[in-house]
Chains A and B, each alone.
Chain A
Amino acid sequence: MTLHNIKLTVNGLPVEAAVDDRLTLADFLRHQLNLTGTHIGCEHGVCGACTILVDNVSARSCLMLAVQTDGLAVRTVEGLQATDGTLHPLQAAFRDNHGLQCGYCTPGMLMTLVEFLGENPQPSAADVREAISGNLCRCTGYQRIVESALDAAKRLNEQEP
């Protein structure tokens, strides 16, 4: 086992760390940085719970090694809310529309939808369903998640000047 020194940014803040060869990005975030908002469901790329953004595009953090993020910018669910604690419009929409029950899938849903709504400001319900097709939810039946995403799109559009 070798330790590799890496420098990256996590939610905009610089991070320096020494990581083991085989440490996944998901475990690095959770165990070394104590950012436990990123959840781990399957650890083999199927459930989407561990979805985060790497250099602004979504990725499954269980399928990346921590050492691979040297020099990159990582964004997790903890980076969504404003510094004063105001929820991101997507988070607020999930809260108001009952878009979560146990909340296990929610961080992955949110990070997937942040990217998706950034590119598709006026999605249809079918578009949203396709966008979250790589995220499993065992509670909601997805209906409320789709409604939350559509409501979030509306809120984000209103927010734009």
Chain B
Amino acid sequence: MKPPPFAYHSATSIPEAIQLLSKLENAKLLAGGQSLMAMLNLRYLHPENLVDINRIPELSGITIDQGRLRIGAMTRQQAIKASAEVKAAAPIFAETLAYVGHRQTRNRGTIGGSLCHLDPAAELPALALLHDAMVTVAGPRGERKIEMAAFIVDYMTTAVQADELVTLIEFPLWRAGHGYGFAEFARRHGDFAIAAVACLMESDSEGRMTRVAISVAGVAATAIRLTAAEAALIGKVAGPEAFAAAAACCADIAAVGDVHGSAEYRKKVAAVMLRRALTDAQSRMAKNG
């Protein structure tokens, strides 16, 4: 179908975008448009105004400093996937982004758009949660920073207010040589995940895990951290036995089923994905004996 009628506005600076959002009735931000445009064409949404933020250059860019990866909200997913800098500091990004839509949608789709849309099966919110990312939001009352865990409020609902926009996402980087793994099961490449698991891992010289983060997408109403599995792994020697115990924690996820997979099925798939992701993470950890 065709989108319903709306008035189009293009902002060229962050203050202008905030001003438009504050003054216009029932306005929606247009970022990469890879979800919003589809929802408009399907007439799921009827905004009176669209505020396009594609012409705000300061919203895009990738920098790494002081152990933090800083990504502007309008940075295209493909730009993050292709960045050699990101690949060197946080290789899980390129691996995960290969599962985000298709090349044609990654060319337009943005990281901020994905976080704000907050589809339960989306990979980028899971990556942000995995890293305890900090999201900067700008609005008429100034700027505020929100931890990713608080940014996620509920199913497709974020802590961003209607007159605010996300400007920056900061990811604290893990130690060089950390292990990482991402595993996803979907019916076809690029489809929404039935279950996806991302993990990061560090260990001591004996192979005992000292730091582990695990996040899951596609199973619960939002991306979640699997804190029980993380706790079960700390202090254990990385290997099949410990990983099997962690995978058992997937049974306790508050899973949501739909036509593509029941809640039970998703939990089972998540357990398999978790084992695969942990195994990859272990094999990729630098041997720091």
Residues of A within 8 A of B (CB): 1-2, 4, 21-22, 24, 27, 43-46, 48, 51, 57-60, 62-65, 67-68, 112, 115-116, 130-131, 133-134
Contact = CB atoms under 8 A, between A and B. Distances in A.
Interface residues of B, number: 31
Contacts of B54: 68
A45 B38 CA distance: 6
Interface of B: 1-8, 10, 30, 33-34, 37-38, 40-42, 50, 52, 54, 78, 101-105, 107-108, 188-190
Task: Tell me what chain B mostly uses at the interface: helix, strand, loop, or mixed.
Answer: loop
A81 B251 CA distance: 56
Contacts of A68: 10, 52, 54
A22 B6 contact: yes
Nearest to B37: A63
B37 A64 contact: yes
Contact of B8 (A2, A62, A115): A2
A26 to B, nearest CB: 10
Task: Tell me what chain A mostly uses at the interface: helix, strand, loop, or mixed.
Answer: mixed
B102 A133 contact: yes
A133 B1 contact: no
Contact of B103 (A2, A4, A134): A134
Given A57-B78, A68-B54, A134 B37 contact: no
Given A22-B3, A22-B5, A24-B2, A44 B101 contact: no
A24 B3 CA distance: 8
Nearest to A19: B8
Nearest to B76: A57
B184 to A, nearest CB: 13
